[in-house]
Amino acid sequence: MFTGLVSDVGQVLSIEDRGELKRIRIATSYDVKAIELGASIACSGPCLTAVEFGSENGRNWFEVDAAAETLARTTVGQWRVGTHINLERSLTIGAELGGHIVTGHVDGLGVIEKRTDFDGMAKFDIRAPHDLAKFIAEKGSICLDGTSLTVNSVEGDVFSILLIPHTLAVTTWGERKDGDKLNLEVDLMARYAARLLQAKD
């Protein structure tokens, strides 16, 4: 489980094809000696398993294996050497829950339709997959590329978010532009509420 509060921005150092898997090495500022083998790390949304650690040219790194399902249903298949990635280590008992409960299971891909910059901030209009739009509500929570965000407005399948300068500076959002695809995870409570209503009917 995660909170959607990004604690590091990593960078893809290498991608190695291994049949249907891709072994991806990601540079990080995390102390890799403190990460256990098999630990879960949210990598721009998807929860991936750390399978190897090390240091290269003074930079710490960890490696993850991305399977065919992850490559097909998330933006991981589009990553290239140099791609920046929002990172978050898994939630520990007693830790501050500053975002919202995030599972690291990507539901689909959103697409940025329009970015509007003003006063150091940025407003993003994002189109959600039609079957997920019903789970997105004004003032509700949503996780995009591993970042817990508040929905400002909703109109059909398009919703908007507003990012403050701090978020733009400490995540990959400062690089995002029109047409970019985003890993989207709907709010867990919205999903269960919809399921309960469906079961009631």
Active site (catalytic) residues: 2, 40, 47, 49, 67, 105, 150
Q: What percent of the chain is helix, strand and coil (3-state, nearest 5)?
A: 20, 45, 35
Provide the H-helix boundaries in 67-164: 68-73, 130-133
Kind and range of the H or E run holding 97: none
Q: What distance in Å separates the CA atoms of residue 92 and residue 39, rounded to the nearest whole number?
A: 12
Q: What are the strands of the beta sheet with 181-186, ordered from one edge?
A: 147-150, 141-144, 181-186, 108-118, 121-127, 158-163, 153-155
